[in-house]
Chain A
Amino acid sequence: MKKLLKIANSASWGAALISTGALAVMLVTVVANVVGRRFFHHPIAGTTELTEMAMICIVFLALAWCAVERAHISVGVVVERFSPRVQAIVDSITYLAGLGLCIIIVWQTILKAIDVQERGLVTFVHKVPYFPFYWVIAAGFAILCLVMVGHLIEHLVKAVKE
């Protein structure tokens, strides 16, 4: 259990670092494009597609870190009125449902990544292949699944012990 949490936390932290790097790249690219366009009449070619691909890395690699920090939004106003045991049971059920959805997303995104790779789809300007970014989405949700499994086990243990 502890080992699983450690792996999940390390993986989400690593993903968040890559996400931060992508944010820095996006910031510099957009600023350089604005400056180049306004002052030198020379915008950076393909800024839109570079930004869009960076957004995939920024967003999906931050999901698991956000879960580790327990920052995803939920409304506890009703559940908090019940006993800790009932709370743990309800949390276990909702986590299981959420986990199921995330597993389907990982599975379907991997299939999509393979499909996009086989079709050879690339961006318009720089001809960057799209398929690695589908893998990024799958990886982001897979790490989120790991974190959620850790949380689910915590809730199950609480439900049994309380």
Chain B
Amino acid sequence: MSTEIIGLIGIIVVVILIFARMWIGLAIPLVGFVGIVIILGPKQAFSALATIPFVKVAFYPMSAIPLFILMGTLIANTGIGADLYNTANKLVGQFRGGLAIATLMSGAVFAAVTGVAMAAIAVFGKVALPQMKKFGYDDRLTSGSIASASTLAFLIPPSLAFIVYGIITETSIAKLFMAGILPGVLVTIAYVITTRIITARRPEAGPAGPKTSLKEKASSLKHVWHVVILFLLVIGGIYGGIFTPTEAGAIGSFGAIIITVASRRLTSKILFDSLKETMRATGMIFLLIFGAYIFIRFLSLSRLPFMLSEFLVGLPWPPMAVIAVLVLFYIIIGMFLEIFSAVILTVPIILPALLAMGIDPIWFGVIIVLVINMGLVTPPVGIAAYMLAGMTGVPSFTVFRGVVPFLIAAIICIIILAIFPQIALFLPGTM
């Protein structure tokens, strides 16, 4: 049996184990281990299990992951997200669909200081949803806007998805962060336009909220200084070359602690809870990463990614047609796997093909994060949608219906990014 066939069987077994509800973080190293045993023998496989955990985790850039998680949980748990929503609400809430637009705007700003979508769901499900219900918004627009706003966290830096993608593909995390900014703004604008279209066609879906004076609007801005400072500190520091993205995680966490202490929001209970959440998320992500490296070793030995690369490069298709097929593939993958598993499992397989076709891995990183993000809110495994449904009592089917217009907007953004890759690549190019 050729090694490529062994690699293919390995991938099929991984899919079976994942659908058998095995922890993904153990399913992939298990198959990787058995695969290495078959190809190279038990000695090499045992050696991989003994060395990979140490070598891959004791790697300086990895430290950004727990530190950015801590920064995000501190911000989410201290009520700063709620303040952002209230400010956005005062600025645009008085317009038709304004409360949903406020959710999207504050979601984008919140994403600029947190790296995971679930924190945004928790914050905006609690804060924005009661307001929208109070003003008679329909459940579809309410849940669709909250769920869509949460997905911005993975696109707008600091994004944990970009850190994991950068580490796995050995691409500059600083450049990936910068590449996410303008597409993040583009997607936010597209979501706002979507809300305007929905409320123009069905005004009863999002009635105007309470009017606020110019003075109230101006005064509400004082509640966003925390986020502005933290964003400028972290992203400005990386862009200006003052510190690396790895160090930015520590600076961001430290900054979040100082800011929340200064604004008298950080209690010992919140700090303790934030640390507990950080440990939980760290354990979850790193079991996946450790498993991925063993699986990658097996896949490299099987030569399957190289065979796939030769096949894709040999196709008489333009690279954009291949990208279109990959986007469809990732939409399907995103329906079943959350973003970290999807990136870790698939990118090592297709990366050689992308590089051979001359596709920029930074641009592709932005595209797949945007595509896999869609899976967060689509059935059958739309984690963000289910979480929102569980928190709010809105049926999950209603949430799924509510996100459809926003998904169409996201697909339009992907097409725009394919036609104008400079939107993603301009800022990294200036570094």
Contact = CB atoms under 8 A, between A and B. Distances in A.
B50 A111 contact: yes
Q: Which of A23, A56, A93 has the most CB of B within 10 A?
A: A23
Contacts of A33: 247
How many residues of A sit at the interface, in one of the four size bands? 35 or more
B46 A52 contact: no
Determine the main DSSP class of B at the interface with A: helix
B287 A52 contact: no
Contacts of B290: 59
A64 B50 CA distance: 19
Contacts of A63: 283, 286-287
A77 interface: yes
A160 interface: no
B26 A79 contact: no
A16 B381 contact: no
Contacts of A11: none
Contact of A112 (B51, B58, B287): B51
A34 interface: yes
Nearest to B67: A27
B336 interface: yes
Given A58-B66, A66-B280, A91-B21, A20 B275 contact: yes
Q: Which of A20, A73, A90, A134 has the most CB of B within 10 A?
A: A73
A134 to B, nearest CB: 6
B60 to A, nearest CB: 5
A69 B280 contact: yes
Nearest to B381: A77
Interface in B173-214: none
A94 B242 CA distance: 47
A23 B70 contact: yes
Contact of B60 (A48, A77, A93, A105): A48
A105 B49 CA distance: 6
A55 B57 contact: yes
Q: Which of B250, B283, B288 has the most CB of A within 10 A?
A: B283
A73 B286 CA distance: 11
B273 to A, nearest CB: 12
Interface in B195-244: 242-243
Q: Which 9 residue pairs across A and B have the least CB separation, nearest first?
A: A66-B283, A30-B250, A94-B22, A62-B283, A98-B26, A52-B58, A108-B50, A112-B50, A79-B21
Given A27-B250, A105-B50, 9 more contacts: A26-B63, A69-B280, A71-B281, A74-B22, A75-B336, A102-B26, A105-B53, A108-B46, A108-B49
Interface of B: 17-27, 29-30, 33, 46-47, 49-51, 53-54, 57-60, 62-63, 66-67, 70, 242-243, 246-247, 249-251, 253-254, 275-276, 278-284, 286-288, 290, 336-338, 340-341, 380-381
